[in-house]
Structure 1
Amino acid sequence: MTVRVRIAPSPTGAIHVGLIRSALYNWLFARHHQGKFILRIEDTDPTRSSEESTKAILDGFRLVGIDWDEGPFFQSQRFNIYQEYARRLLAEKKAYYCYCPQEKLEAERQVAWSQKRIWRYDRRCLNLSEAEKEKLDASKKPKAIRFLIPPKKVVFDDLIHGRIEKAPQDIEDFILVRADGTPTYNFAVVVDDALMQITHVIRAVEHIANTPKQILLYEALGFPIPKFAHLPLILGPDRKKLSKRHGALSLFEYQKAGILPDALINFLALLGWSPGGDREILTREEMIKEFSLERVNKSNAIFDYKKLEWMNSEYIKNYPADKLYNLVIPFLREVGIKEFNREHLLKIIELVKVRSRTLVEMANMAKPFLSEEITYDDEAVKKYLTNDARRNLSLLYERFEALTDFSAKNLELILRRLAEELKIKAADLVHPCRVALTGKSVGPPLFETIELIGKERTLTRLAKFKS
């Protein structure tokens, strides 16, 4: 049996981390089993779906390196297929027309809810006579198609949550096709998964309540039933629904925040799955080799943005400078850097990458090397650029100005020699010098920093703070 899995997003908004994780787990499962990963767009609701969102989904998957083997297939182009199967269910008396106005049923549901009663559709249209149906049809009364729940218990073994049972009285006769002719999610997904020969349905745990309904539909249509695996929720550190205040952004917002796709994928892979041991940094190849549904947790996963930043910093640290070069350029432009020399920038990247949690931080850290304008931290200026420090910087200026070999090694030698002459600690020169040159009190190694800033810029900046 060839493993066939799918991801089936609705193009109705931004791409969130839950969708990317679901897509990733399906992709890893397919690649691990040398199977097929299918992309389907569930765009049956024209009022909520948009081409812009569809494009964002495709671009988003490409951005994070999740490629698909078949598709994208669009449900909006498959309505005739759903209608064919709906007609078959009607002909076999496994479904029936429902003429009840949706507004009336919703009002009944609200009343029951206010009285703390469970409301389920009472099949009032199931036993309409042919004459009654003809009369309603003659009056152009809108009608939906409902599935007739058979009197049997549904039992299935979820690959993550174990055995789940549902009694027939707990499932109402649900709508298959709305009065406007559009198929509902539960109907379209079963038809598509069956025709696309999906072997494993791996999706969010929110869909676990739909599974008994879908299994009954598979049986009614004579389709083989796939295996189901429902992934745990992703919650914030406070155990509440994930939101922006927890650092949960849309996929492209992570890109704008300077998070590398490889780091994001690694982070999301571990939100619910573990490869065993204490490894946290994994290549795609390692994830594919190790991935199994048996190691996916039942318990909810906790989203920790600081952990994501740490993981991102590890990837940045281990990326070669030439790989980071093209990635950081858009962020340099954001901070006003339009021109730079490639070789010079590669050296800067090599220096600052070990202290950068994101590409945004890398660009900001690189700015003093490349721009005439820098922003000074007021607290750092107040703390380190005292009158004594400014007098010492005047002497350092003179020593640097006289240097012909403006290398990190020579710069360190000159600064330490001056500190000895002044009978002060080297740090009493290092900190004021760093603030004067970069505007910050912390940063990459100072002497390599001075070398890459260059003699001309160094002297110009020191001159601002000479006593």
Structure 2
Amino acid sequence: MTTATPVRTRFAPSPTGFLHLGGARTALYSWAYARHFGGTFVLRIEDTDVERSTPEAVQAIIDGMKWLGLDHDEGPFYQMQRMDRYREVVAQMLQEGTAYLCYSSPEEVEAMRERMRAAGDKPRYDGTWRPEQGKTLPPVPADRKPVVRFKNPLDGEVTWNDVVKGAITIANKELDDLVIARPDGTPTYNFCVAVDDWDMKITHVLRGDDHVNNTPRQINILRAIGAPLPEYGHLPMILGPDGQKLSKRHGAVSVMEYPAQGFLPEAMLNYLARLGWSHGDDEVFSMAQFCEWFNLEHLTASAAQFNNEKLAWLNNHWIKQADNGRLGELVKPRMLEAGAVFDGAPDLATVLGLMKERANTTNELADAAMLFFREPQPDAALLAQHLTDAVKPALALFAERVQTVEWTKEAIAAMLKEVLAANGLKMPQIAMPLRLIVTGQLQTPAIDAVLQIFGRATVAARVAKYL
């Protein structure tokens, strides 16, 4: 596309719950498209559903965006703070004849729909109060406040070239004259969205495909008020591993459940980016790379399936890339809760550098790192099995050599080989009892690396206890 008009995208959630994965992906694509073109990304809170919108949900959306690092350039704008502007546009439309007052009661409208259903027609408002040339309107009921309805075109069709789904056409006769303002004057969803997109000069609207039916209504309103049309793209939903709509039975749905489970934002962004878009076979990429590559041509029209194993694999990759100091800040609260003692213990960042290779989450990393931050309590039966009479002379020689060996991983490894050779043993015969004595467990990374991190004094003191 040409960029003569500056690109302006928006993410416009309704604050009726948390930021879910589908919403986060929509926000990511809108953000990345704006970043790709050096454009503007707008955050708009569509809070006209007063009964269901809550301040807690607004905060949950903002927290989710902040965790993901999807920074907005303008906003957040709140629809409830723009009521004067909507009323101004409604008044203008009434004046120009693109909207009209409708005094039909909800019961009368329902009766119209019932008649149409009975006749096999699509149920809709029948236009009783729609002004037409030569038409006489019913007398205005004295006790009733009107709604304002949009005067939708009766003929023709609405066509747009959806950047995800291709050309979509809806006949105007399928759309009725929707209410744009309620009896108390508050505007309705589709009307507010159209006015907002106009006022905020939005050039590209990316959103979930549950909005496809709203698009022709919004296009007709935009045309009626003389506003330019944005390009629209409707993203397919994200499905669970079983092919059903993603829901709580598949695990976490709220974005903010993922940091608590030990996922990094860069892993989540990397995963969501590939859940409906591709760049050849590239699976792992930074957000800077994604913004450079991102385009609308490679969005996929088919639904994507969420795969927890793939997310965990990506998270492992990004944990391995992450700064150890940053990982320390993430794991320390969990470790303290588990009773970790950091005074006199090895450096946490150094420990994490050793342990992070196999961790799929920062929670797994915290649990694995605990062996360096608690007193070892080896199982008596395991000690009896591995700390045999054949091994004790080798352990005594090891304890002697610990005092003088240069304290590097390489020097410790060489010293262990010399101790084994002097006693005619193989590596597991000394590595297993050493692991138990020093860490309290049999499974650890390479014994030379573990000993180096614990430090000479700790290793000497723990081995001395068992000689």
67-76 or 319-328, which moves further after superposition?
319-328
User: Gaps (5+ residues) in structure 2?
Assistant: none
8 Å Cα contact 2:125/2:177 also seen in 1:
yes
Which deviations, in whole Å up to 9, do the C-alpha atoms of 1:101-126 show, x marking residues without a partner?
Answer: 54775698799889997422333444
Match of 1:344 in 2: 347
Which deviations, in whole Å up to 9, do the C-alpha atoms of 1:165-223 show, x marking residues without a partner?
Answer: 11122222222122343222111000000011111111111111211111111111111
User: Gaps (5+ residues) in structure 1?
Assistant: none
Q: SS in structure 2 opposite 1:18?
A: helix
What pairs with 1:6-17 in structure 2 (closer than 5 Å)? Answer: 6-17=10-21
Amino acid at match of 2:242: D
How far apart are residue 271 of structure 1 and its match? 1.0
Residue 88 of structure 2 is aligned to residue 88 of structure 1: no
How far apart are residue 357 of structure 1 and its match? 1.4
Which deviations, in whole Å up to 9, do the C-alpha atoms of 1:296-315 show, x marking residues without a partner?
Answer: 11111121111111111111
CA distance in 1, matches of 2:410, 2:37: 54
CA distance in 2, matches of 1:334, 1:275: 42
Distance 1:114 1:306, change over 3 A: farther
Match of 1:263 in 2: 267
Q: Provide TM-score, normalisation by structure 2.
A: 0.86
Match of 2:328 in 1: 325
Match of 1:388 in 2: 385
Match of 2:51 in 1: 47
Match of 2:139 in 1: 132
What pairs with 1:32-431 in structure 2 (closer than 5 Å)? Answer: 32-102=36-106, 118-126=122-130, 132-133=139-140, 135=141, 138-139=142-143, 141-151=144-154, 152-276=156-280, 278-337=281-340, 339-340=342-343, 344-372=347-375, 385=382, 387-391=384-388, 398-402=396-400, 403-404=402-403, 405=405, 408-409=409-410, 411-413=412-414, 415-416=416-417, 425-431=426-432
8 Å Cα contact 2:376/2:438 also seen in 1:
no
CA distance in 2, matches of 1:453, 1:108: 80
Q: SS in structure 2 opposite 1:78?
A: helix
Distance 1:394 1:269, change over 3 A: same
Q: SS in structure 2 opposite 1:251?
A: coil
How far apart are residue 388 of structure 1 and its match? 3.2
CA distance in 1, matches of 2:319, 2:302: 31
Residue 31 of structure 2 is aligned to residue 27 of structure 1: yes
Q: SS in structure 1 opposite 2:388?
A: helix
CA distance in 2, matches of 1:113, 1:125: 21
Aligned residues: 455
391-400 or 48-57, which moves further after superposition?
391-400
Q: SS in structure 1 opposite 2:75?
A: strand
Amino acid at match of 1:389: H
208-217 or 411-420, which moves further after superposition?
411-420
8 Å Cα contact 1:42/1:74 also seen in 2:
yes
Q: SS in structure 2 opposite 1:366?
A: helix
Distance 1:242 1:196, change over 3 A: same
8 Å Cα contact 2:383/2:436 also seen in 1:
no
Amino acid at match of 1:242: L
CA distance in 2, matches of 1:423, 1:112: 94
CA distance in 1, matches of 2:372, 2:439: 8
8 Å Cα contact 2:376/2:437 also seen in 1:
no
Which deviations, in whole Å up to 9, do the C-alpha atoms of 1:324-369 show, x marking residues without a partner?
Answer: 3333333333433363579711210111111221111111111110
8 Å Cα contact 2:113/2:125 also seen in 1:
no
Q: Provide TM-score, normalisation by structure 1.
A: 0.86
Q: SS in structure 2 opposite 1:193?
A: helix
49-58 or 266-275, which moves further after superposition?
49-58
Distance 1:342 1:249, change over 3 A: farther
- Percent identity between matched residues is 38
How far apart are residue 446 of structure 1 and its match? 2.4
Which deviations, in whole Å up to 9, do the C-alpha atoms of 1:388-423 show, x marking residues without a partner?
Answer: 324267556544543214654455456555655776
Distance 1:280 1:373, change over 3 A: same
Distance 1:132 1:334, change over 3 A: farther
CA distance in 2, matches of 1:16, 1:205: 15
Distance 1:429 1:83, change over 3 A: same
8 Å Cα contact 1:246/1:304 also seen in 2:
no
More helix by share: 1
8 Å Cα contact 1:17/1:248 also seen in 2:
no
Match of 2:448 in 1: 447
CA distance in 2, matches of 1:373, 1:43: 55
